[in-house]
């Protein structure tokens, strides 16, 4: 089995490639840095040759609504056409829990458009809806920053470790196509403002987190349950405090000189 990971050098994609290769699967990371551009189609035919499965975890460089829509529509169209020509038998895509509920968000509308293209195509597929990553909490804080404060809606979230998302995508990719959507989430629920506050404190970030019911999530108004998965979601095992402790340890390791055992820890997009 040959699996191509589109966006295979990013946070989730690199973990997927590593896990698949460790299990004996031929996994190839495809990205613009490796000469594959899904927006133009450049390099797709070559990298997809003899591939059985495609895992698409790519993302646009910006969350701007128009740019995101253009990216997902053009990229997905080019990818599906190249897959059909190459005889790919399973298309796996990573998406977001709540995509269909958060149409007020331009980014979520773009993800929904991507999913529609996949479902309308003849290639068997599996779509994995994930909750927010532990690693992306800092990004959410950045989007919500107003001077020295961070405004976050005090709604429930059930975030998941990026490593667990990668593991679940690996499991889905080596199985039979689901031709449906599944949800994956972490084992614990938090208030979004509480989670952001704990994350910033761990980074010694002095910004104040304010619980603001009017604050938006990627441009969308959210209520208490907008960001939660359904009751049948597949739950990961990694708990936030355990992940946070490892992340802080890795961050401090980078500050120690090599002779003190610092070395170069695994990259963590959350820091």
pLDDT per residue as tens digits for the range 194-245: 998 998 888 888 889 999 999 888 889 999 999 999 999 999 999 999 999 8
Dihedral angle sign, alpha carbons of residues 50, 8, 182, 240: positive
pLDDT tens digits, one per residue of 104-158:
999 999 999 999 999 999 999 999 999 999 988 876 666 678 888 989 999 999 9
pLDDT at 37 > cutoff 80: yes
pLDDT at 90 over 60: yes
**pLDDT at residue 146, rounded to an integer:** 80
The number of CA neighbours under 13 Å toward the Cβ of 159 is 25
Token representation of residue 188 = 């614990």
pLDDT bin (cut points 50, 70, 90) of residue 270 is very low
| Tokens 């458009």 -> residue | 113
The pLDDT of residue 248 is 75
Total-model pTM: 0.89
Give SS3 for 87: coil
* pLDDT level of residue 253 (50, 70, 90 thresholds): low
- Residue 55 makes CB contacts below 8 A (sequence gap 6+) with 3, 4, 5, 6, 13, 16, 92, 93, 94, 169, 173
Q: Which residues have a Cβ under 8 Å from the Cβ of 116 and sit 6 or more positions away?
A: none
- Long-range (24+ apart) CB contacts under 8 A made by 240-244 are 240/134, 240/159, 240/186, 240/188, 240/190, 240/195, 240/198, 243/134, 243/161, 244/134, 244/198, 244/199, 244/202
């Amino acid at each position: 089995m040959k699996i191509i990971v589109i966006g295979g050098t990013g946070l989730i994609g690199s973990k997927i490639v590593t896990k698949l290769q460790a299990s004996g699967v031929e996994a190839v990371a495809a990205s613009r840095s490796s000469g594959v551009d899904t927006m133009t189609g450049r390099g797709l035919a070559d990298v997809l040759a003899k591939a059985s499965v495609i895992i698409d975890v790519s993302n646009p460089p910006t969350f701007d609504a128009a740019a995101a829509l253009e990216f997902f529509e053009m990229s997905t169209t080019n990818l599906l056409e190249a897959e059909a020509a190459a005889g790919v038998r399973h298309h796996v895509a990573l998406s977001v829990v709540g995509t269909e509920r958060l149409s007020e968000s331009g980014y979520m509308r773009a993800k929904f458009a991507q999913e529609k293209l996949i479902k309308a195509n003849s290639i068997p597929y599996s779509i994995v809806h994930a909750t927010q990553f532990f690693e992306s909490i800092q990004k959410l804080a950045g989007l919500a920053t107003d001077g020295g404060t961070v405004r976050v809606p005090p709604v429930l979230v059930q975030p998941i470790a990026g490593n667990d998302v990668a593991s679940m995508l690996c499991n889905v990719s080596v199985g039979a196509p689901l031709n449906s959507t599944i949800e994956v989430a972490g084992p614990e629920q938090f208030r979004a403002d509480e989670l952001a506050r704990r994350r910033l404190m761990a980074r010694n970030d002095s910004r104040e987190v304010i619980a603001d019911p009017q604050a938006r999530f990627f441009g969308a108004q959210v209520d208490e349950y907008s960001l939660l998965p359904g009751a049948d979601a597949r739950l990961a095992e990694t708990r936030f405090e355990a992940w946070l402790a490892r992340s802080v340890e890795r961050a401090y390791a980078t500050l120690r000189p090599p002779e003190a055992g610092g070395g170069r820890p695994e990259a963590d997009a959350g820091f």
